[in-house]
Amino acid sequence: MFEKLYQQPADKILALMAQFRADPRDEKVDLGVGVYKDASGNTPVMRAVKEAERRILANQSTKSYVGLAGDPAFSDVMIKLVLGDTITHDRIAAVATPGGTGAIRQALELIKLADPTATIWLSNPTWPNHPSIIKYLDMPMGTYRYFDNDTRGVDFDGMIEDLGAVAAGDVVLLHGCCHNPTGANLTEDQMAQVIAKVNAQSAIPLVDIAYQGFGDGLDEDAQATRAIAAGFENCLIATSCSKNFGIYRERTGILMAIAKDADQAALAQQNMSFLNRQNFSFPPDHGARVVTTILQDAELRLDWEAELEETRNSMLALRQQLVDELKRLTNSDRFDFLAHHRGMFSRLGTTPELVEKIRVDHGIYMVGDSRMNIAGLNEKSVPVLAKAIVEAGV
């Protein structure tokens, strides 16, 4: 049996991590893996998370299964966090999932169950797991232009033109905030035009929102998702708690489906629970219980929001420091786009050859498409990166 298997494509980020670990240089810099790091290079456990876990440990009386959809209290707090009061609760179905990746997988499974002919449209570029899962599920896939390598911003005209090819019933995947891998976001007006265009094509949006709170603030980062949810009868939203709660390894996510009415929401809920049963039965609960504990307690929530704001401001400060250093070295403002990007990532818009040159000459590791994790920097490594970018001729 096993002799019939064949080698799968290597994950580029995991391969980069292995390459980084093998590099003996003391001043090497990892800008590849997508986790937040503090000034010491650590990925800390947030204060509110530690306190929530302490309370759970003290009070939890069972490790029995939760329901197929997960704890309803987790769904309630996450719906409130992401959607606020935008949609009436009776129109929303939700299931807990193993991380944001699990939410994307379940969303695609639900789409395939409802309409196997629907094409999934992705931004070019997008998070590599999006096309990988779609290909594995053997679903039709298309792309729309998104990133302009010259301006390092959104190619909005190209995006709108390409969305004109979307057919009725197709699904358009949109990033809720902090676009991965580019860091380039749509403006409020541009998002309104995208919503109108997708509606005109009679298509359905699937929102991937994995970095709420990392861009412009908790509510600010949710505005695009809320506008999308309010603009359609049907919508899917995949959400991750890995980044904004710092619970990467707990695999905590949720899939929400917005339906036209309560009857359709109930049908979606039943199908989503069915899909959970087929894929992993009951979703993991520890991370979900941590998130619920924090969001239900006023004191814990305030502390979590404060630390999340510290994290966000730290990344913004690193962005500005990098822009200032590049401006000093080049006497030009051509890297100002880095200050306008949001979230953990930015894409330099350079070639894989120059990315490799930066790695070889300076020990700075970023993904070959020039995506770099801004949160992997600190005050000392920013000048090193700026010097490497300039010397490589980016």
What H or E segment, with its residue span, contains residue 372? strand 371-373
| Total number of domains in the chain | 2
Residues 282 and 149 in one domain: yes
For every residue of 163-205, DSSP letters joined together read: HTTPPTT-EEEEESSS-TTT-----HHHHHHHHHHHHHTT-EE
Locate 38 and state its tokens.
């503090």
Q: Which of 296, 317, 350 is the last residue of a domain?
A: 296
CA distance 97 to 336: 38
Which residue among the candidates 103, 184, 210, 288 is catalytic per the annotation? 210
**Is 249 found in the same domain as 127?**
yes
Identify the burial level of 324 via C-beta atoms within 10 angstroms of its C-beta, where 0-12 means exposed, 13-18 middle and 19 or more buried.
middle
What CATH number should be reported for the domain holding residue 113?
A: 3.40.640.10
CB atoms within 10 A of CB 121: 27
Residue 58 lies in a domain: no
| Within a domain: 232 | yes
pLDDT in tens, the chain (394 residues): 999 999 988 888 888 888 999 999 988 999 998 889 888 888 999 999 999 999 999 999 999 999 999 999 999 999 999 999 999 999 999 999 999 999 999 999 999 999 999 999 999 999 999 999 999 999 999 999 999 999 999 999 999 999 999 999 999 999 999 999 999 999 999 999 999 999 999 999 999 999 999 999 999 999 999 999 999 999 999 999 999 999 999 999 999 999 999 999 999 999 999 999 999 999 999 999 999 999 999 999 999 999 999 999 999 999 999 999 999 999 999 999 999 999 999 999 999 999 999 999 999 999 999 999 999 999 999 999 999 999 999 9
Residue 85 lies in a domain: yes
Query: Residue 86: which of 227, 199, 277 has the closest Cα?
Result: 227
Q: Are residues 236 and 358 in the same domain?
A: no
Q: What is the CATH number of the domain that holds 28?
A: 3.90.1150.10
Distance CA 377, CA 358 (A): 15
Active-site residue, selected from the candidate residues 162, 208, 221, 285:
208
Residues 259 and 133 in one domain: yes
Would 210 be classed as within a structural domain?
Answer: yes
- Kindly state whether residues 210 and 336 are assigned to the same domain: no
Instruction: Specify whether 127 is catalytic.
Output: yes
pTM exceeds 0.85 for this model: yes
230 is a domain residue: yes
> 82 has which bridge partners?
none
Domain end call among 296, 326, 353:
296
| Options 30, 148, 243, 257, the catalytic residue | 243
Q: How many CB atoms lie within 10 A of CB 233?
A: 12
Domain match, 225 and 354 both: no
Q: Are residues 236 and 330 in the same domain?
A: no
In a domain, 59, yes or no: no
Helix (H, G, I), strand (E, B) or coil at 95: strand
Give the span between the Cα atoms of 134 and 145, in whole angstroms: 18
For the chain, the distance separating the N- and C-terminal CA atoms, rounded to the nearest angstrom, is: 48
From CA 167, how far away is CA 2, in angstroms rounded?
Answer: 40
324 and 274: one domain?
no
- Please report whether residue 254 resides in a domain: yes
Active-site entry in 52, 69, 127, 268: 127
Quick one: 356 and 220 in the same domain? no
Active site residue 304: no
Rounded to whole angstroms, the Cα distance separating 72 from 95 reads: 9
Q: Are residues 117 and 23 in the same domain?
A: no
**Residue 385 and residue 29 in contact, taking contact as beta carbons nearer than 8 Å:** yes
Same domain, 224 and 97: yes
- Alpha carbon of residue 375 to chain centroid: 14
Closest CA to 205 of 123, 265, 147, 96: 123
198 with 288, same domain: the answer is yes
pLDDT at position 134 is 98
Q: Which of 246, 275, 296 is the last residue of a domain?
A: 296
- Structural domain including 290 reads 65-296
